[in-house]
Amino acid sequence: MNIDTQILIPMAEANNNFSKVLRIVDESGMVVILKNNKPRYVVLSFDEYDNIEQVRQKLFNSTADSVISENLFALK
């Protein structure tokens, strides 16, 4: 997974300057907060979250449709 280094913020900086975190989210759609130099948390804009949720729902529906069609005889 490739992460833009511009969206990485250390935990201490996020605690001390949350407005900076929100500014980056407004510009980039997300921020990755590092704890002990490892990605630990993600802050997303609501639009970005909504896009992810829509993709997840489409994938779920597609998988459910596939399982139902493959087992239609047993379900009847």
pLDDT tens per residue across span 17-71: 999 999 999 999 899 999 999 999 999 999 999 988 899 888 888 888 788 888 8
- In this structure, how many other beta carbons lie within 10 angstroms of the beta carbon of residue 55? 10
Spatial separation of the C-alpha atoms in residues 31 and 39, rounded to whole Å: 10
pTM of this structure:
0.67
Phi-psi region of 31 (alpha: psi -120 to 50; beta: other; left: phi over 0): beta
- In this structure, how many other beta carbons lie within 10 angstroms of the beta carbon of residue 33? 18
Collapse the DSSP code of 43 into the 3-class scheme (helix H, G, I; strand E, B; otherwise coil) and give the result: strand
Q: Return phi, psi of residue 41, to 5°.
A: -135, 155
